[in-house]
Copies of this chain bind each other. A is one copy, B any other.
Amino acid sequence: MASFNNNSDNSLPESAVPEVVIQRLPLYVRVLTQFSSSGEEVISSEQLGTRLQMTPAQIRKDLSYFGRFGKQGRGYNISILEGKLRTILGLDRTWNAAVVGMGRLGRAVVSYPGFAPEGFNILAAFDANEEIVGQSISGLKVESISKLTQSVKDHDIKIGIVTVPIDHAQEVIDALVEAGIRSILNYAPLSPQVPEGVTVRGIDPVLSLQSMTYYIK
């Protein structure tokens, strides 16, 4: 990522479907959603490819890992394909998340309006600083990190979002893993160590900038 950049990926479960393919599916979902709201009914791999700047063959091959969703001579029904892909990705349900680290970044994350419409609900917020614990931020009561395991269980939290400073990131990630979390979105600028079966995706705009400068230098 490699985006884009920037994905630490730790030995995911055995599967015939390449990891890169899985990472492209959300892209397909995104354009399909945009197309469907524009009144179109059918879309070809050619049109999808134009939108995403990739080859039609790649799109067809990616989709073929999961089934036969198109009709020869016509293309793909937009809303049906979108639905299939959402089901494949597990987006036909909602997911509960917890944010750890309620400084500047954590506050921005919990108040970001883009998660809920996509089914990602932030139900808990944690911080190590006792002055912040107890505060209410965007409707969330900040809890002590010592409550993590209990809260993960109580709220059926499946996703951890790490927004602590770098020097506490690894220990927070260890705590999340300890609490049973297997999917982590990491905003701290480090590549954390995680056991097999735990997926970490990193969000670091600086890494993205640092690889772009190579091409303009």
Contacts and interface: CB of A to CB of B under 8 A. Distances in A.
Interface string A149-165: 00000000011000000
Copy number in the complex reads: 2
Q: Chain A: interface residue count, which band?
A: 35 or more
A89 B51 contact: no
A190 B51 CA distance: 9
Interface string A10-47: 10110000011011011101110010000000000000
A102 to B, nearest CB: 15
Interface of A: 1-10, 12-13, 19-20, 22-23, 25-27, 29-31, 34, 51-53, 88-91, 95, 97, 104-105, 108-109, 111-115, 118, 120, 158-159, 182-183, 185, 189-191, 193, 199, 201-203, 205-217
